[in-house]
Amino acid sequence: MARIVQKFGGTSVADLDRIRNVAERVKREVDAGNQVATVVSAMAGTTNQLAAWCQEIGPLVDAREQDAVVASGEQITAGLLAMMLQTMGVNARSWLGWQIPLRTDGTHSKARIETIETDDMIAHLGKGQVAIVAGFQGIGPNGRITTLGRGGSDTSAVALAAALDADRCDIYTDVEGVYTTDPRIVSGATKIDRITYEEMLEMASQGAKVLQTRSVAMAMQHHVRLQVLSSFVDQPGTLVVDEDEIVEQKIVSGIAYSPDEAKITLLGVPDRPGVAASIFGPLADAAVNVDMIVQNISHEDQSTDMTFTVGKADLDRAMSVLDGLKDELGHDGVQAETNVTKVSVVGVGMRSQPGVAKTMFETLADKGINIEVISTSEIKVSVLIGGDYTELAVRALHTAYGLDAEPSD
């Protein structure tokens, strides 16, 4: 007997037919003799409708009230799924955030989970009752409903799995798992059976948006075995686990890419101590996240060019900050480029295997692709390239690292 936490997203519970489908999956785990806690999102579209009403009332509504309104979406799904299971003869009940209670801080609309009191739920699980948990919601220090922000139900599920000391946390979604790269670009992309938390974090933050970064980080911290799998196809998905659970490590696990970057180049920046701080300090103050940074070799006039990337959504804000620095910094000008893509090669194996970066640079050079910026971490190498080369680069790298599926007969 295992204790399993499951999570089903909005598209998986979009109507009563899909809720019935979810109930059948829950029942299968129960019939296999497992204790099951199932976290649900709001029916697809519900949260948007509720949020739209709030926005229509005004631009700056009280986040405490907005949380009370939007949390009702998960409350509805939880009740409906519990009823659906009961009609199948499965003992089940719904749990709202305040009923567990799942306690959070008071940061409404993006609250952080503080504690989950599980004694009561564990007693019910022990009697063979399935716990249907309304995701995305908790109760704040003042007894008000809080919500956990983007991807909140993933976070609810991972946190609950940690608190319940669950054997596994299954995140059901509309894809079959984590792939070596985007299957829309590389037809030979294959589903990864096992991936480490660190790799998953890099894959997630680099654009493979299957799991919210925040829930992966939480799973890593609490050693929760995550599985990403499809709620529509009946197959094992991708297990996200500790490194020591992966027997045969590939050097490179996957190729991620993110088209959501913009490149900024400051021309003719005086090459003197403290100049970096005078650029990146004000950007940080304006909540602009700077990712890759390259400082070019000094020109003869003791000036240099500085190149870095920011999220596309932050570009306008970044440019206005840099405009304001013109007098103080004395640079010659600013260039911005949005048609760029960050491509990353990810794998824990590269820690022990030199030459991964070399293969990447050679492969791109062979295809005539110019590398504009490079950045590396222990388990990934990222390059910024022209946006038009995205598919070409991803396909070439996928092949170069031996990730292509064997052609099936």
Q: Is 399 exposed, middle or buried (0-12, 13-18, 19+ CB in 10 A)?
A: middle
As measured in angstroms, the least distance from the Cβ of 24 to a copy of itself is 14
Name 314's Cβ contacts closer than 8 Å, sequence gap at least 6: 262, 287, 288, 289
Q: Smaller CB distance to a copy of itself: residue 50 or 294?
A: 50
Residues between 75 and 94 that touch a copy of itself (CB under 8 A): 75-76, 78-80, 82-84, 86-87, 93-94
406 binds a copy of itself (CB under 8 A): no
With CA atoms as reference, report the closest residue to 181 among 408, 399, 22, 407: 399
Stretch touching a copy of itself by CB under 8 A, among 72-80, 214-222, 349-357, 401-409:
72-80
Q: How far is the CB of 141 from a copy of itself (least distance, A)?
A: 13
Residue pair 285/277 in contact (Cβ under 8 Å)? The answer is no
Site string for a copy of itself, 137-176 (x = CB under 8 A): ------xxx-------------------------------
Asked if 70 contacts 50 with a C-beta cutoff of 8 angstroms, the reply is yes
Nearer to a copy of itself, 49 or 289 (CB): 49
Q: Do 373 and 158 meet the contact criterion of CB atoms below 8 Å apart?
A: no
Contact 369, 392 (CB under 8 A): yes
Among 11, 21, 99, 399, binds a copy of itself (CB under 8 A): 99
Residue written as tokens 């985007």? 182
Closest to a copy of itself by CB, 92 or 264: 92
List 8, 37, 98, 216, residue binding a copy of itself (CB under 8 A) = 98
Of 15 and 245, nearer to a copy of itself (C-beta) is 15
- Of 55, 50, 37, 58, nearest to 10 by C-alpha is 50
Q: How far apart are CA 356 and CA 358, in angstroms?
A: 5
Binding mask 11-50 toward a copy of itself (x if CB under 8 A, else -) reads: -----x---------------------------------x
Residue (of 286, 370, 386) closest to 338 by Cα position: 386
CB 19 within 8 A of CB 80: yes
Query: Per CB under 8 A, which region of 73-81, 107-115, 158-166, 316-324 contacts a copy of itself?
Result: 73-81
Given the complex with a copy of itself, which of 12 and 258 has the nearer CB atom?
12
CA-derived radius of gyration, the chain: 24
- Which positions from 322 to 361 touch a copy of itself by CB under 8 A, shown as an x/- string? ----------------------------------------
Q: Does residue number 96 form part of the binding site for a copy of itself (CB under 8 A)?
A: yes
CA distances from 63 to 35, 42, 146, 150 (A): 35, 18, 9, 14
- Options 32-40, 51-59, 201-209, 368-376: segment touching a copy of itself (CB under 8 A): 51-59
Taking the complex as a whole, the smallest distance from the CB of residue 23 to a copy of itself amounts, in Å, to: 10
Cβ(158)–Cβ(219) below 8 Å: yes
Smallest separation, CB 233 to a copy of itself (Å): 25
CA distance 209 to 228: 12
- Return residues touching a copy of itself (CB under 8 A): 16, 50, 53-54, 56-58, 61-62, 64-66, 68-69, 71-73, 75-76, 78-80, 82-84, 86-87, 93-94, 96, 98-99, 143-145
